[in-house]
Every structure is written in C-alpha cells, then in structure tokens.
C-alpha cells in the first residue's frame, strides 16, 4: 500500500498528539475524588450500645469566625524580624495572647486560585487550575463555604474577586475587587477596609472573609525587600487589631467565643513572584486567635509546620459543620485542647472516618495502609472508652485510656493524611511510558522516512509483508500480556486499565503497528545504504562543524531536560549554546575570508578590487571561480566583509549585555541586575533616554523593507508606544514636567493597536494577493515583512520599557546574521532554522522569563484594556511572554521566503539538451556570480535554463535580463539579483544538506 506524503504527515501529527495526550494524562493525574454522590451521613460515635446522640454533629466551637487572608503573606512577614518591626500587635498575639501560630505549607502551584480552593476544600487542586486562575469558574466541590451557607450561616466577603467567581451565590453581602491590575496596591485594600467599621458593628453575620491583595501586588512590583512591604504590613497589623478588639468586646456581650484567623494563600519568592515550590513561596503564616484557647502565659513555642489544607477541616469543626468530603487535611488539634475528652475524641473520630473514606475511594488496597489499620484500632479503643465513660467511670483508668486513644487517633490521622495526599502526587507511570513510546516511535518513523517524504508528490511504502504482520502479532500479544499483568497487579487505578478492552486493545495495536513500521523503515534504510555503497554515487553533502554543533547542541539540550536543575536554569544552557554558535560562525566567516577551499591562505582584497570594476561581466571564467568557492565571502564588498567578520562579535556583545539585563532562573534570580537598576525611580531619566533610543533604532532596523504605508504607520505606532509609557508613568516626557494626572494609557495603547492591526492587515492582504492573483515574489516578501513589523510593534508596546533593548538586540542580531553571515556563507534552510530556534529560545530567557510560572508578566495582559477581558488578556500575556520565539519564527519565514523560491524537483518542467550537472553548475555559478557583481551587467549572463514557472509581474532592472524565471533581489542595499533557478541536486537533497554541492563547469 502506498501513502501520499500529506496523509503520512497528517497521520504522524495525529498519532503524536495521541501520544502526548496519553503522557500528560499520566503526568497530571486528576485529583483524588471519593465520589460525586452527596456526602455520606456523619459516622456515629463508636460505642457498644450506640446512643442516638452519637450520630449528631457537635455544636459549633465558635460563634463567629473572621478569616483575614493576606495574599502573599510569607511566614517571616509575621514570625520573622519584619513581623516584630512592622506588626507589633500580631507579634503580641503570637507571643502572649490566646493564640496558636503555625507555618502553613502550601502545595505548588502556589497561585492564588488553587490556594483558595485548598483553603476551603482541603483538597489539593492540580496544575490544571493554574490555567483557570485568571477566570475561575464556580467551585462545585464540597467545601466549607458551601456547607456553611447550607447550614444557614450568613457569610460576608470583601476582597479578591476570585472568591465571588468561586462562590457566586453564597455570600449575603460581598464586594469583589479585581486582582488584575497588579500595579495598584492601595485601592485594592482600601476597597476592603472601608466596609470593616460597618460590618463589625453589625451582628448579623457568622462568617466574615477578607482577602487583602496589596501585599502580593507590592511583591510583584518591587519584591519582598521593598520598603513598601513594611508600610503594608503595618497597615495590615492595625486592621487586625481593629478586628480583634471589636470581636473581643462583642464576645463579652454574646458570651460565645469567636475565632480570628490570619493566613496567607502562598508565600513570595525572593524576586517577588510566586507559583513554584521554593521554600519562600510555600511557607505562609497562619495564626488562630480566640478567647476560647487556653494557653499558659509565657509559653512561647516556635510555630509548628502544618499543611495549608488542614485549615478547611479546622474551620469546619469550628463552625460545627461536616468536614469537606475531599479534604486531605487533619484539623489543627491545639484548637481543641481545652475541650472535654469526649468531644476531643469525637472530633478526632469524625476526621479519621472522613480521611479513611477518601483513602478507600482512591486506593484499591487501602487495608494495607498502616494509617488505616491504626484508625481501625483507635476506633475499637474509642468504643471501649465510650463504654467506660457511659458507665460513669471517672477513674484514673478512663483518663489514661482517653489519652491513649487520642494519641492513637493523632497518629492515625497523620498517616492517613499523608497516604491520601501522596495519592495525588503520584504519576500514572504506565500511561506515561506508553505515551513516550508512541511519541518516540513516530519520531523514529519520521526521521527514517524523511528522504522519501520530502518531495510534494512522494509516496511512502506502507509495509504489509507477511514478516511484518507476524512481527505485529507477536508485539501485540506481548504488549497484551504486559497490559494484563500491569492491570491486575496495580495498587492504584491506572488510566489505561480503566479503559474498555477494545479501547486499550486499540492503543496497544497502534503501538505494535508503529513498531513494525519503524523496523521496516530501518531495514529498508540499511538495505538502501548497502546498495549505495556498492554503486558509489557522489555524496550530495558533507558535514560541517556547524552541522555537528547544531545537532549536538540540540540533542544535548534535550538530554539536559532530564535533570530538574537544568530545567530551572535552562537559560544557562541557551546562553551557552548561543555564545558557542556565535564563535562557530565567527570561525566560519574568518575561514571563508582568509582561507581558500583547500585551506590555503589567500588574499581578501582581490575580489574587492575587482568589485570596483563594475563593467566586468560574469563570464564563464568567473562563473567557474565562483562555483569553486560558493561559501566564501567573496560576494561582499570591502565594508560589508568587515561587517561579516565583526558580526559574530557584535552579537556576542549583545548577548552579554542582555544577560545582565534580566536575572532569571531560580538560583540567581535575586541578584541585582540592570533591569532593576533601570526600573528604580531614581533612574527614570536614564530609562526614558534608553527607551527612546531603542524605539528609534527599532524603527531604523525594521522600516527599510516595509511598504511605504506601513513605514509611516510603524513610526506613528512607535511614537504611540512611548506616549503610552509616559501616560502610565514609567517614562518621562521631555516637555511635560508635571506627571500629576496618570491615566492607564488606554487611549495611547489603543492608538498603537490600531496601527498594529493596520500594518498586519496590509501585510496579509499583500501576501494573499501575491499568492492568489499574481505570482509576485516581491509583493509577497514585502507583505511578509509587514506582518513581521506589526509583530515587532506589538512587542514594543507590551514589553516593559527596560526590556526594549531586548527587542532591539533581537532585531539587530537578525539583521546582522541574515545579511552578513547566513546569506553569504550559504547556510542551508535546516541550519538556519535550527539557529533561529536557538536564538528564539535564548531571547525568551533574555526577556527575564524562566520555566517558573512566577515570571509570567501578567501586566502585559491589561495594556489598553479597561476591564478584564479573558480572550484578549490571555492572548496579550501569551504574546508578551513568547515574543522572543515568535519574532524569530516570523523572521525565519521572511528569511526563507526571501531566498529565491526553492523549486522542488517534481514541479520542475524537464528541459532537454543539458546534462543535469552542467545545468546545476551553471545555475550555481549564476547565483554566485550575480551575488558577487550585482547589477544589470552581470544579470545579462543569467542564461541558465530555468526550471521555475516564469513570473513576470514585477520588473526591477535585473528582471528583464533573466531569459525566463523569476528574479528577486538578494539584498536591498546592493540591489543584486538572482534568478530563481536551482540546481537539481540541491532540490533533491534534504533541506538539512547545507551548501549545495560544489561542482565546476569542468566536471
Ligand atoms: Zn495570591
Ligand atoms: Zn500574586
């Protein structure tokens, strides 16, 4: 059976997607859920003759509960030196008041929404929740707030809007503040505090939740060591004091104790972000205060480390509600310490039953868990204790037994909680392995069949021989046996085992079929290789040092991703690779200039002198000469040649500068860098000058190849970018001294958007026109460049001002590389593609990004937006984050399409009368000769039979001279042109093949 190459590619993509999906399903297992059924009734108190009162829940411990959640409240802001200095009242409560303090450990991802969910449900939200962080759908999972509302409690909420989205119908009163404008840290908190006086005076509520965002925003703007942090902490301390004193005075009237909880949702890294798993990001302060707590005076203990998920169970118990079904936490026992033994044991029992139910749902062999055995034993002992108690036995025995049961329960809770939480973090290895195998098989198949698959009309032989089918059945049976063994012995539920038999069989059949395909392709390649060796034909290409470098570098980078440190510090890999690449290019350009093909030294100046004589036409002799050294710099003039020699060094210099602009990664992220220096308020003038110069240089680099209309739009757009940044107060306007009225620059930003869309529209229109109506190469080139410049303009708008040099260096590198190195040295499409990929990755990190989600600059998402709009905000944030790779990809498209169209061998109308080799060398010679001399004089010699369909709509000076076939400018400055004919050998060889074969006319 034969398969067209389009169908083959589509099939590969489909199977690849399937493999990746299977891997991800194993890598991000869905969170543990016991069942979607309504919550089971509360477990009765274990006792011999179960009394009816045992099944009822206990009355709430606290009349009123206030939760004061401060976003980004790291533990040392309360318990460390900062707390002592800026939060005197809180420190007093921690050290002397009736309170219990803890360091609550948040599980990654340390992002607000998953953390809020963890606080109210007690379960562990997965990484999928990060994506939903910006726009959270209503929380349907069992949680404390829903339970409280269902029990008739009145819940009031002020603060981060996320809560309102999670609980749209739960609060009797609420005021959500949007967390989207990170730059504001005063108003977000004032919006919460202004309600306090009114609410604290009223007594018509049971639960009050306050979520303060200012501290987190300060962290995002200026990091945890900013002086603003101290001021914010003092503000929070005074608010806490207000709430606490008000609660205390109310308690005296109401006679029921109330609970005040101070907590954070996550910490803050040393750079001020959050999202990852560093100690600073996961450690948050947790302080519970209530007059009900019995605490001996002078008893100061360091805060105990607990899990953030423990708070949900504690709040539920405190409010007299059932513990949320999916909670993996255990309640904070110190809260209970003053209560009667029977109550204590009852609460411990309820928590243990809830955890054991969750364990049973998630682990098929739960009986083997030590925590479960311990729980069963405690339950038995508990029963004995209740029997003794009901017999009114108040002896020492009862007391001792009670203490023993309590110890047992606490131990059981600990192991149960650990067992249930670890269930969440466990990967489904089986799915991951199978997914990886599928991906690797497709990759191998692609690599082995690329030579056959390249041509547009190529067909692939699908092996259906008996040997293959035998192999297929064998592999399938083997895999099936393995599947049965894995699924019957699994301790946990595995995704593939939960599939129906035909589905699982289909996946296994796919794996075996791919295996057969790979093996047959492999044998065919080997056989072909042997045949080739028996009939030696001239090898079409040879490996250069650069090929080795790009291949080894790419493979090395892939291997490096196996270690977590290399992922955290991935920027170092890219910086190293890019610098090495620059040195290799430098080596190559020097060799091309100073050494001949045979390695002999030669003089650079001779072609330059020849260049002066413009009347020289490229006759056969010169064609020959040029053909002998196609990858030399002879084609460049004297000044350009020096630029070619200097370019790698210039790019290296740019890279060094950018490295110190933004520190990134994990280990050295806190180090001072140029970016911090520039963004500090004392250096606003320097930043303004730098930004203005960068914008001017960006315009200079981009405009030369734009259409005139786009040129004007680009200039106005870049001016708009500067105005936008002055409007937001980042930059100074030279003739506007007072910057009193700061707006959000909505108008300026929208002004720039109009130009971006305008240029984009012009570019796309031109490309479409050249594709559909006229086969105009130049219109297409200009159109593509317009699209590129629109992207540059958008990036300039979204980048923070101190990052504008990154954009400038990116454009500068592209120009230098393309003009002085890639084109003159004749790098192949594959090499250039890999180099673009490398630079794109390096510029991703130069921007200050890392693999840590904390470095995503979400402020880019509200440039020019009044309110939060999901789709544009997501798009803008994604574009600003990946601007580096995107701009390099767009440049690659421009670069490759600027080359004379690469005609594939199949689309070439064959011409008779010329031996292919002679033709190819002629063509090759043409290219080089024109490249060397430029101008119409040389173009008259473009007599190589063209193999491309003639294109005629555009007629620059050189076009008239090509007998047939397109002529396109090689360089805008020299107006050198070339015919778009290609040697057949270059057409047939794979795109990675690099420089075309070096042949001379004499061959
Ligand atoms: Zn947060
Ligand atoms: Zn934040």
CA angle 768, 770, 787 (to 5 degrees): 55
| In the predicted structure, residue 51 carries a pLDDT above the cut 70 | no
15 alpha carbon – ligand 1 mean position (Å): 39
315 alpha carbon – ligand 1 mean position (Å): 20
648 alpha carbon – ligand 2 mean position (Å): 40
CA–CA separation, 73 and 233 (whole Å): 9
672 alpha carbon – ligand 1 mean position (Å): 25
308 alpha carbon – ligand 2 mean position (Å): 17
| In the predicted structure, residue 917 carries a pLDDT above the cut 80 | no
Contact 855, 664 (CB under 8 A): yes
pLDDT of residue 418: 87
Q: For the chain, give the mean pLDDT.
A: 78
3-class SS at 617? coil
- Percentage with pLDDT > 70 across the chain: 74
180 alpha carbon – ligand 2 mean position (Å): 10
pLDDT of residue 486: 85
Q: Which ligand is nearest to the CA of 220?
A: 2
Q: Identify the band that residue 149 occupies on the pLDDT scale cut at 50, 70 and 90.
A: very high
216 alpha carbon – ligand 1 mean position (Å): 6
Alpha helices in 847-974 (DSSP H): 870-881, 883-898, 916-933, 935-939
183 alpha carbon – ligand 2 mean position (Å): 11
pLDDT of residue 455: 54
CA–CA separation, 882 and 849 (whole Å): 9
119 alpha carbon – ligand 1 mean position (Å): 12
CA–CA separation, 321 and 518 (whole Å): 60
pLDDT of residue 480: 92
SS percent in the chain: helix, strand, coil, step 5? 60, 5, 35
Q: Which ligand is nearest to the CA of 856?
A: 2
pLDDT of residue 104: 94
Nearest Cα to Cα of residue 507 among 15, 9, 12 = 15
Sign of CA dihedral 295, 301, 303, 304: negative
Q: Which ligand is nearest to the CA of 269?
A: 2
72 alpha carbon – ligand 2 mean position (Å): 7
| In the predicted structure, residue 966 carries a pLDDT above the cut 70 | no
Helices (H) and strands (E) in the chain, counts: 39, 12
266 alpha carbon – ligand 2 mean position (Å): 9
| In the predicted structure, residue 931 carries a pLDDT above the cut 50 | no
Contact 69, 106 (CB under 8 A): no
129 alpha carbon – ligand 2 mean position (Å): 15
267 alpha carbon – ligand 1 mean position (Å): 8
| In the predicted structure, residue 566 carries a pLDDT above the cut 90 | no
133 alpha carbon – ligand 2 mean position (Å): 11
217 alpha carbon – ligand 2 mean position (Å): 6
Q: Where do we find the tokens 């544009």?
A: 872
Q: Which ligand is nearest to the CA of 217?
A: 2
Q: Which ligand is nearest to the CA of 264?
A: 1
Average pLDDT over residues 151-176: 91
137 alpha carbon – ligand 1 mean position (Å): 17
Nearest Cα to Cα of residue 447 among 533, 363, 551, 351 = 551
Average pLDDT over residues 887-914: 61
Average pLDDT over residues 14-34: 79
262 alpha carbon – ligand 2 mean position (Å): 18
pLDDT of residue 573: 93
pLDDT, tens digit (0-9, with 9 covering 90-100), for 748-762: 899 999 999 999 999
280 alpha carbon – ligand 2 mean position (Å): 13
Sign of CA dihedral 733, 736, 739, 743: negative
Lowest mean pLDDT among 325-339, 765-779, 791-805: 765-779
Lowest mean pLDDT among 17-26, 351-360, 414-423, 431-440: 414-423
250 alpha carbon – ligand 1 mean position (Å): 31
The token pair that represents 278 in the structure block: 């560093």
pLDDT, tens digit (0-9, with 9 covering 90-100), for 421-441: 877 666 788 889 999 999 999
pLDDT, tens digit (0-9, with 9 covering 90-100), for 530-543: 655 555 444 455 67
Average pLDDT over residues 339-356: 89
Average pLDDT over residues 534-563: 78
CA 662 to chain centre: 18
CA–CA separation, 645 and 630 (whole Å): 17
Q: Which ligand is nearest to the CA of 113?
A: 1
Q: Which ligand is nearest to the CA of 114?
A: 1
156 alpha carbon – ligand 1 mean position (Å): 20
Q: Which ligand is nearest to the CA of 221?
A: 2
| In the predicted structure, residue 947 carries a pLDDT above the cut 60 | no
272 alpha carbon – ligand 2 mean position (Å): 8
Q: Which ligand is nearest to the CA of 267?
A: 1
| In the predicted structure, residue 946 carries a pLDDT above the cut 50 | no
The token pair that represents 83 in the structure block: 């707390």
Q: What is the DSSP string of 962-991?
A: SSSS-EEEEETTTTEEEE----HHHHHS-G
| In the predicted structure, residue 897 carries a pLDDT above the cut 50 | yes
964 alpha carbon – ligand 1 mean position (Å): 66
- Whether pTM > 0.75 for this model: the answer is no
196 alpha carbon – ligand 2 mean position (Å): 24
Q: Which ligand is nearest to the CA of 110?
A: 1
Higher pLDDT, 302 or 616: 302
| In the predicted structure, residue 691 carries a pLDDT above the cut 80 | yes
| Residues whose CB is less than 8 angstroms from the CB of residue 482 and which lie 6 or more positions away in sequence, other chains included | none
CA 123 to chain centre: 25
Q: Identify the band that residue 1 occupies on the pLDDT scale cut at 50, 70 and 90.
A: low
| In the predicted structure, residue 1002 carries a pLDDT above the cut 70 | no
Q: Which ligand is nearest to the CA of 74?
A: 1
127 alpha carbon – ligand 2 mean position (Å): 16
775 alpha carbon – ligand 1 mean position (Å): 55
Q: Which ligand is nearest to the CA of 273?
A: 2
Nearest Cα to Cα of residue 942 among 614, 617, 611 = 617
220 alpha carbon – ligand 2 mean position (Å): 6
């Amino acid at each position: 059976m034969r398969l067209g190459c389009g169908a083959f590619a589509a099939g590969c993509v489909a199977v690849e997607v399937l493999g990746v999906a299977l891997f991800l399903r194993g890598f991000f297992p869905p969170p543990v859920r016991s069942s979607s059924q309504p919550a089971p009734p509360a477990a009765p108190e274990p006792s011999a003759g179960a009394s009816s009162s045992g099944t009822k829940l206990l009355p709430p411990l606290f009349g009123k509960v206030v939760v004061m959640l401060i976003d980004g409240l790291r533990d040392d802001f309360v318990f460390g030196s900062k707390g002592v200095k800026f939060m005197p009242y809180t420190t007093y409560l921690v050290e002397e008041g009736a309170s219990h303090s803890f360091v609550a450990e948040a599980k990654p991802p340390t992002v607000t929404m998953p953390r809020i969910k963890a606080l109210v449900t007690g379960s562990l939200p997965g990484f999928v929740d990060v994506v939903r962080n910006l726009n959270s759908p209503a929380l349907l999972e069992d949680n404390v707030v829903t339970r409280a509302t269902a029990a008739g409690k009145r819940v009031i909420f002020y603060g981060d809007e996320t809560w309102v989205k999670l609980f749209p119908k739960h609060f009797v009163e609420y005021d959500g503040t949007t967390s989207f404008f990170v730059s504001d840290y005063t108003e977000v908190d004032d919006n919460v505090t202004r309600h306090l006086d009114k609410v604290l005076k009223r007594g018509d509520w049971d639960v009050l939740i306050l979520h303060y965002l200012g501290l987190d925003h300060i962290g995002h703007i200026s990091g945890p060591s900013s002086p603003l942090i101290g001021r914010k902490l003092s503000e929070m301390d005074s608010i806490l004091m207000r709430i606490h004193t008000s609660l205390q005075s109310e308690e005296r009237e109401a006679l029921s104790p109330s609970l005040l909880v101070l907590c954070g949702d996550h910490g803050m890294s040393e750079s001020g972000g959050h999202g990852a798993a560093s100690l600073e990001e996961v450690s948050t302060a947790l302080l519970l205060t209530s007059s009900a707590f019995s605490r001996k005076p002078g008893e100061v203990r360091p805060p105990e480390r607990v899990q953030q998920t423990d708070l949900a169970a504690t709040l539920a118990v405190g409010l007299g509600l059932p513990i949320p079904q999916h909670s993996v936490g255990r309640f904070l026992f110190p809260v209970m310490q003053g209560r009667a033994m029977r109550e204590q044991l009852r609460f411990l029992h309820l928590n243990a039953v809830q955890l054991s139910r969750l364990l049973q749902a998630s682990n098929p062999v739960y009986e083997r868990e030590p925590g479960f055995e311990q729980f069963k034993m405690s339950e038995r002992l508990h029963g004995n204790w209740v029997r003794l108690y009901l017999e009114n036995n108040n002896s020492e025995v009862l007391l001792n037994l009670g203490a023993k049961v309590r110890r047992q329960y606490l131990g059981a809770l600990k192991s149960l909680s650990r067992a249930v939480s670890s269930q969440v973090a466990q990967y489904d290895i089986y799915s991951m392995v199978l997914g990886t195998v599928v991906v690797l098989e497709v990759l191998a198949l692609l690599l082995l069949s690329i030579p056959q698959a390249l041509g547009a009309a190529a067909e692939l032989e699908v092996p259906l021989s008996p040997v293959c089918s035998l192999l297929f059945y064998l592999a399938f049976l083997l895999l099936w046996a393995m599947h049965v063994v894995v699924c019957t012995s699994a301790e946990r539920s595995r995704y593939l085992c939960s599939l129906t038999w035909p589905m699982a069989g289909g996946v296994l059949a796919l794996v075996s079929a791919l295996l057969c395909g790979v093996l047959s392709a492999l044998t065919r390649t080997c056989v072909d290789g042997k045949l080739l060796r028996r009939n030696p034909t001239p090898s079409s290409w040879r490996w250069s040092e650069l090929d080795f470098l790009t291949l080894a570098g790419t493979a090395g980078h892939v291997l490096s991703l196996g270690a977590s440190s290399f992922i955290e510090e991935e920027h170092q890999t890219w910086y190293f690779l890019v610098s090495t690449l620059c040195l290799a290019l430098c080596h190559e350009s020097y060799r091309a200039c100073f050494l001949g093909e045979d390695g002999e030294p030669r003089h650079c100046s001779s072609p330059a002198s020849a260049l002066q004589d413009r009347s020289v036409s490229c006759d056969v002799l010169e064609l020959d000469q040029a053909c002998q050294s196609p990858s030399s710099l002879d084609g460049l003039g004297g000044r350009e040649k020096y630029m070619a020699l200097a370019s790698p060094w210039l790019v290296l210099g740019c890279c060094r500068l950018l490295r110190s602009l933004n520190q990134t990664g994990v280990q050295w992220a806190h180090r001072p860098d140029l970016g911090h220096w520039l963004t500090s308020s004392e250096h606003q003038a320097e930043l303004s000058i730098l930004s203005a110069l960068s914008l001017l240089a960006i315009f200079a680099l981009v405009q030369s190849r734009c259409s005139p209309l786009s040129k004007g739009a680009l200039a106005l757009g870049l001016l708009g970018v500067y105005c936008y940044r002055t409007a937001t107060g980042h930059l100074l306007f030279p003739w506007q001294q007072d910057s009193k009225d700061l707006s959000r620059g909505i108008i300026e930003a929208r002004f720039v958007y109009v130009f971006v869309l305008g240029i984009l529209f012009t570019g796309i229109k031109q490309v479409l026109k050249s594709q559909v109506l006229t086969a105009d190469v130049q219109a297409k080139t200009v159109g593509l460049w317009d699209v590129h410049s629109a992207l540059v303009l958008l990036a300039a708008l979204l980048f923070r001002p101190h990052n504008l040099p990154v954009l400038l260096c990116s454009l500068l590198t592209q120009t230098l590389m393309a003009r002085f190195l890639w084109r003159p040295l004749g790098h192949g499409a594959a090499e250039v593609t890999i180099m673009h990929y490398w630079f794109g990755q390096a510029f991703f990190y130069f921007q200050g990004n890392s693999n840590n989600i904390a470095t995503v600059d979400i402020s880019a998402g509200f440039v020019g937006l009044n309110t939060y709009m999901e789709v544009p905000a997501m798009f803008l944030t994604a574009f600003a984050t990946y601007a580096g790779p995107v701009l390099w990809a767009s440049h690659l498209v421009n670069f490759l399409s600027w080359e004379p169209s690469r005609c594939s061998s199949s689309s070439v109308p064959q011409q008779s009368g010329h031996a292919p080799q002679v033709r190819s060398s002629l063509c090759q010679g043409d290219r080089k000769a024109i490249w060397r001399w430029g101008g119409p004089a040389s173009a008259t010699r473009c007599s190589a039979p063209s193999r491309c369909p003639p294109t005629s709509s555009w007629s620059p000076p050189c076009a008239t001279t090509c007998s047939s076939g397109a002529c396109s400018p090689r360089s805008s400055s020299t107006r050198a042109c070339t015919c778009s004919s290609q040697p057949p050998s270059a057409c047939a060889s794979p795109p990675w093949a690099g420089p075309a074969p070096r042949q001379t006319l004499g061959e």
